[in-house]
Amino acid sequence: MAFHDIDSTDIWTHLVAGEDILQHHRVPHVDPFVPGGPSAASKWINTQWLADVALALMMRSGSITALVLWACLLATIMVAVPLLPGFRRTSPRIAMLAGALLTLCMVNERFLVRPEMISLVFLVLLHTFLRHRTLLRTSDLVVLFVGQVLWTNSHPAFLLGPVLVLLRLMAPSLQRRLRGQGQRHAPRRAWLALPTVLLATLLNPWGIQLPLHVAGAAFKLTHAEFRQGIVEWQPTFQGPVASDIALLAFVVALAWSFLALWKARHAGNFYDILVVVLLTALALQARRHLALYAVVALPSIALWWSQASGSATQHHALRRRFAGALQTVTLLAITSLAMLLALEVWRGRFYERFGPPRTRGCGISQVDHPIGATQAFFDAGRPQPVFNNLAAGSYLLWADSGRTPPYVDGRLLDATRFRDYRALLHRPGRFEQAAATHRWRAVLLALQPHAPIPLFRHLHDSAQWQLTYFDGSGALFIKQTFAAAAGLPAIDLRRTALPQAPSPPPAQDGFWQRCDPGPLATRGAKLLQLGFPEAARADLSRALQLCPKRWEIGLQLATALLDLQRTDDAVPLVQRALREDPGRAEAWTNLGRIHAARGEWAEARASWQQALDVIPPDPAAAGHLGRAPAP
């Protein structure tokens, strides 16, 4: 799951920041990537500077491959380490393996080449350390201090370190009060652990400003403005649960946690309980925190269940035999499920269903970054100043080694600018006012995974801007006066077809991989989303010719044909999609559109309802159903 092409847009900011530190041998306290140089910049507290340096060094030594393999190693550590305590015990191990599978379902979307991976590993190691140490030895304090210093300079989640230590120290006293068991309080020497980790958080280039800054930033990210504009900070249950494997696994884990806690209520580690409660509260607040819950809370829940199941059967011979047989069957089931999951991930089918769209490998995802559009910007002479969307800012910063300052990037240093930026994407009039104020000469847009459709349509139809590059992953608009003076050719997406995109030779689907039509399918799908069905039809038709077994491309082609009122041509494509995958909601939506075009409204309503009943449902079906005439 971690072995995939780099698709995180934030990685480029970390690489350019780390390279800047290595080149100048200092940690900047002001933003060096702004017009006019650092003297004109605002204050910058890089909360991940040490991780940035590590990433930049890996990039220097081993290029992109080293970064991907590094992410694979960290992913393995964070999932494997919690399993070790359970396997050193005589208690049943099946629950630990089941918990690990649930963990993977929840955390795999965070398997990214980012400093966040380091933070998850630190969290797992700290929690494991605190569970098995009395904190009475000097060596324990040294380990805590060194680990906290490294964590503090690597990722802002380091604030969890002192919190976990405090919970560990409070657990004996709370256990005594609630259960009448254990010590009345932790030994005095153990309490030295708390000032030790607090002191470690101050050993950074900014001193106490860093933890105060992180605490303030954490509070700001709870505001609606950020939560609406950044997917990972949105409320956890904002989307439907049934169509989201991470949320579905989280719901199962929550139910399991209540049952496990009830079974182990007399034997559970009270420190574990406090940590699970804390991480559950965080996971309920924002989707980003699901990973914290998955790598720490889920293994603890599985261990509770294992301990309770083991103690319940150890005194009954018949129960032991039955439990042994049940464990064997369950182990075979879990192993088979894990192998099937691995196969589906390797073939790419897992990401088709559950996302995010990923390609296995150790390179740069050509789809998720505006590589071609950025190169077109360079070829046009770097017309500045430039406006860009968030997904394009980090790559632009890295590709030009910080020489071209982006309007906004993944660091989100200015909350006011971020709020204004979101308004510009959806209000063309406000964008033109800002363009006149800032004198923008170019607009660089990343189109994956979500294109800024209102702004793109406005720029495409405006006489003041000229589309000079488009490939489905990115787009470049140049101010009309500058484009005309530079002799840059214009692209009109309302034409029948775009220039031929480079494509691989025709190939058949294999067991281990699918036929790849190259950028044709990506460009066609994005044209369809942007509302240019004729250009989309041309690209998708060529892609289907190259890979005739890719019926899902044919389904997208059917959508374009229906948009063009070519109903009869779409029928065989939709029928084939329904034969291949009767649970594909988009196919049922298109079938409903075919019935509606023929005046068969009862059949159309039934098809659209079917599109809403399958998992995941198609939101477009709801719109069609709402506009259909009443029966």
pLDDT higher at 400 or 86: 400
Q: What is the pLDDT of residue 328?
A: 81
Helix (H) or strand (E) holding 443: strand 442-446
Determine the Cα–Cα distance for residues 47 and 609; give it in Å rounded to an integer.
Answer: 49
Q: Which of 66-70, 410-414, 544-548 has the highest mean pLDDT?
A: 66-70
Cα–Cα distances (Å) from 459 to 412, 454, 484, 488, in that order, read 25, 9, 16, 16
Residue 279 is assigned to a structural domain of this protein: yes
Residue 92 is assigned to a structural domain of this protein: yes
| 183 and 119 belong to one structural domain | yes
- pLDDT higher than threshold 70 for residue 32: yes
pLDDT higher at 238 or 166: 166
Lowest-pLDDT range, 117-131, 235-249, 473-487, 540-554?
Answer: 235-249
Phi and psi of 526, rounded to 5°?
A: -75, -35
Residue 17 is assigned to a structural domain of this protein: no
Q: Where are the alpha helices (DSSP H) in 286-427?
A: 290-292, 298-313, 317-347, 349-354, 371-379, 390-399, 415-426
Cα–Cα distances (Å) from 61 to 54, 58, 364, in that order, read 11, 5, 17
Per-residue pLDDT band at 496 (split at 50, 70, 90): low
Q: What is the pLDDT of residue 629?
A: 87
Q: Where are the alpha helices (DSSP H) in 286-316?
A: 290-292, 298-313
Q: What is the pLDDT of residue 6?
A: 93
| 303 and 181 belong to one structural domain | yes
* Mean pLDDT value across the chain: 86
Per-residue pLDDT band at 267 (split at 50, 70, 90): low
Residue among 467, 503, 499 at smallest CA distance from 483: 467
Q: What is the pLDDT of residue 309?
A: 65
Q: Where are the alpha helices (DSSP H) in 193-297?
A: 193-200, 209-220, 224-229, 245-263, 270-285, 290-292
Dihedral, CA of residue 251, residue 254, residue 255 and residue 261, to nearest 10: 170
| 156 and 301 belong to one structural domain | yes
Q: What is the pLDDT of residue 86?
A: 60
Lowest-pLDDT range, 297-311, 420-434, 500-514?
Answer: 500-514
Residue 498 is assigned to a structural domain of this protein: no
| 392 and 335 belong to one structural domain | no
Task: Identify the domain boundary among 319, 354, 389.
Answer: 354
| 530 and 419 belong to one structural domain | no
Q: What is the pLDDT of residue 572?
A: 95
N-term to C-term CA, the chain: 47
| 305 and 388 belong to one structural domain | no
Q: With beta carbons less than 8 A apart as the criterion, state whether 272 and 300 touch.
A: yes
Determine the Cα–Cα distance for residues 321 and 152; give it in Å rounded to an integer.
Answer: 50
| 208 and 243 belong to one structural domain | yes
- pLDDT higher than threshold 50 for residue 88: yes
Q: With beta carbons less than 8 A apart as the criterion, state whether 537 and 497 touch.
A: no
Helix, strand and coil content of the chain, in percent to the nearest 5, comes to: 65, 5, 30
| 524 and 622 belong to one structural domain | yes
- pLDDT higher than threshold 80 for residue 35: no
In the chain, what percentage of residues exceed pLDDT 90? 53
- pLDDT higher than threshold 50 for residue 230: yes
- Going by C-beta distance under 8 Å and a sequence separation of 6 or more, which residues neighbour residue 345? 1, 351, 360
> Domain span at residue 193?
74-354
Q: With beta carbons less than 8 A apart as the criterion, state whether 540 and 520 touch.
A: yes
Determine the Cα–Cα distance for residues 312 and 112; give it in Å rounded to an integer.
Answer: 41
Determine the Cα–Cα distance for residues 82 and 68; give it in Å rounded to an integer.
Answer: 23
Q: What is the pLDDT of residue 144?
A: 96
pLDDT higher at 241 or 10: 10
Per-residue pLDDT band at 515 (split at 50, 70, 90): confident
CA 533 to chain centre: 29
pLDDT higher at 182 or 614: 614
Determine the Cα–Cα distance for residues 467 and 535; give it in Å rounded to an integer.
Answer: 15
| 271 and 334 belong to one structural domain | yes
By CB atoms closer than 10 A (0-12, 13-18, 19+), residue 446 is buried
Q: How many CB atoms lie within 10 A of CB 321?
A: 11
Rounded to an integer, the average pLDDT of 232-259 is 84
Q: What CATH number corresponds to the domain at position 465?
A: 3.40.190
pLDDT higher at 497 or 22: 22
Q: What CATH number corresponds to the domain at position 577?
A: 1.25.40.10
| 433 and 555 belong to one structural domain | no
Determine the Cα–Cα distance for residues 39 and 32; give it in Å rounded to an integer.
Answer: 8
Residue 532 is assigned to a structural domain of this protein: yes
Per-residue pLDDT band at 410 (split at 50, 70, 90): confident
Structural domains in the chain (count): 3
pLDDT tens, 562-616? Answer: 999 999 999 999 999 999 989 889 999 999 999 999 999 999 999 999 999 887 7
SS3 608: helix
| 210 and 92 belong to one structural domain | yes
Task: Work out the angle at residue 16's Cα, subtended by the Cα atoms of residues 12 and 19, and round it to the nearest 5 degrees.
Answer: 140
Q: With beta carbons less than 8 A apart as the criterion, state whether 491 and 467 touch.
A: yes
Residue 495 is assigned to a structural domain of this protein: no
Q: What is the pLDDT of residue 628?
A: 84
Lowest-pLDDT range, 129-133, 314-318, 512-516, 521-525?
Answer: 314-318
Residue 67 is assigned to a structural domain of this protein: no
Task: Identify the domain boundary among 468, 486, 504.
Answer: 486
One-letter amino acid for residue 312 of the chain: A
Residue 500 is assigned to a structural domain of this protein: no
Would you list the DSSP string of 62-73?
HHHHHHHHHHHH
SS3 363: coil
pLDDT higher at 470 or 317: 470
- pLDDT higher than threshold 60 for residue 39: no
Task: Identify the domain boundary among 287, 321, 354.
Answer: 354
For residue 386, the 8-state DSSP code is E
Helix (H) or strand (E) holding 474: strand 474-479
| 139 and 277 belong to one structural domain | yes
- pLDDT higher than threshold 90 for residue 293: yes
Tokens for 144? 């805590």
Per-residue pLDDT band at 90 (split at 50, 70, 90): very low
